[in-house]
Structure 1
């Protein structure tokens, strides 16, 4: 059994700091690749529901087993040679394909999070382990949900993620970002509908971060989606199709538009 406290007695309560969150959001708007700001925003807008979701998983048999196992997802997920030995069409292959195409690594996200961690107090507790698990499964959320790394995909995924773990920071970024996105997209583009769809899909689906990810890796991607009841992002895909027909780059940045 893990000897870490569920919540460190010195950890502050789940208070909300919207003014600080807004300041960090403006920095994120100026540079959407500044991932560190996301960690600041979620820290400023954690909320009680997020902590309740964490406790539910941490006290579950799977949550306790994974903590006690010492499993470290970044090392497992960054071993693409091992992932490629799993069956073709599996979640493992989809993950390796996605990360290689995007030039990403699980270790890289850890490095971004550590920039934030160096600026705030550290609390050695199970909640810290849970936060790290959500960090390490972020790109798995992309693959399973069907949302890409374009601005609308990221915003829709944050709405999806909010419904999964109740982090108010994710919902804040999703809707504030949607307002920015709406300003620079063609009139009539259903940006807000895509965000609502992300919330709905995340609410209906089983919680990705609460799954035994390693056991899912060898399974066919579509089988995993069906098992977790993850529905396709219909509105998001329709918007991307519209962008393609109109010759619009879906990777446009609301940040560059605002900063210009």
Structure 2
């Protein structure tokens, strides 16, 4: 990080919201980039796809220079203050399926609940996975902003239409990078795609699919910075059109090619491919 892209720890520690919540707790240690360490944790993740704590270690080893200035811009604004008041903790909103079902049919809320229930997922479950990394809690504005990125991960699957298959997870990670650049997204997304190409012998255009996801993410405003309550109430098709979430061509093409080759897109390499997407947004 440079003095042009972020504020110093001393200055950050003096910033706070009107209610007194610090932007950055003075006790918070700013992670330093360590590519070798990140690659080590990625290899460990490859060995054991269930070891999701490795995901958070990868993000710690590859901190984003964009995270703090983005967090400061939102959280210290009037819009950020309003969001924090109405949406202090997203999982409690996202896991209230009864309330979400009362919103109009065709809404993002209905699609989200259908997705989560069909996959046996909960927003609280993702929180539990992220807490396995043992990261300290600070209660500052940076933490609140980071939690929103984590907690909207499965919502991005719904908005983009990418599934929870191995390629779908890589596509969501790179869609996320397009919205909020972070080297951890790049490593997990592109290295994950490379692992698919290496392990699954196929003509499927895997890299075209992930590059397309990256482009779509860049065209869409940051979802984590929107009012999630308002977004859930909107018509899904209207959201995709309004925010430029284009229909993906190459992801679907990969699925078509794999099926023509007798390969199940949702079971490409169960023993080899890490399901890193499940916890990737807690950076």
Please, what TM-score do these two structures have when normalized by structure 1?
Answer: 0.91
Q: What is the match of residue 87 of structure 1?
A: 104
CA RMSD of aligned residues (A): 1.9
Deviation at 1:174, TM superposition (A): 0.7
**Aligned pair 1:99/2:112, yes or no?**
no
Q: What is the match of residue 9 of structure 1?
A: 26
**Aligned pair 1:163/2:185, yes or no?**
no
Is contact 2:46–2:272 with CA below 8 Å preserved after alignment? no
Deviation at 1:217, TM superposition (A): 1.2
The unaligned stretches of length 5 or more in structure 2 are 1-17, 275-283
Q: What is the match of residue 69 of structure 2?
A: 52
**Cα distance between partner residues in 1 of 2:194 and 2:93:** 37
Deviation at 1:70, TM superposition (A): 5.4
Moved more, 126-135 or 47-56: 47-56
**Cα distance between partner residues in 1 of 2:273 and 2:95:** 35
**Aligned pair 1:239/2:265, yes or no?**
no
**Cα distance between partner residues in 2 of 1:68 and 1:93:** 24
Matched ranges for 1:38-187 at <5 A:
38-69=55-86, 71-116=88-133, 118=134, 120-187=135-202
Please identify runs of 4+ aligned residues in structure 1 that moved more than 4 A.
none
Q: Aligned to 1:32, which of 41, 45, 49?
A: 49
Is contact 2:213–2:248 with CA below 8 Å preserved after alignment? yes
**Cα distance between partner residues in 1 of 2:51 and 2:79:** 33
**Cα distance between partner residues in 2 of 1:47 and 1:71:** 24
Q: What is the match of residue 205 of structure 1?
A: 220
- Relative to its length, the structure with more helix (as a share) is 1
Cα–Cα, structure 1 residues 258 and 198, in superposed 2: closer, same or farther, change >3 Å? closer
Deviation at 1:257, TM superposition (A): 3.5
Deviation at 1:247, TM superposition (A): 2.2
Please, what TM-score do these two structures have when normalized by structure 2?
Answer: 0.84
Q: What is the match of residue 6 of structure 2?
A: none
Q: What is the match of residue 19 of structure 1?
A: 36
Moved more, 38-47 or 107-116: 38-47
Deviation at 1:254, TM superposition (A): 4.4
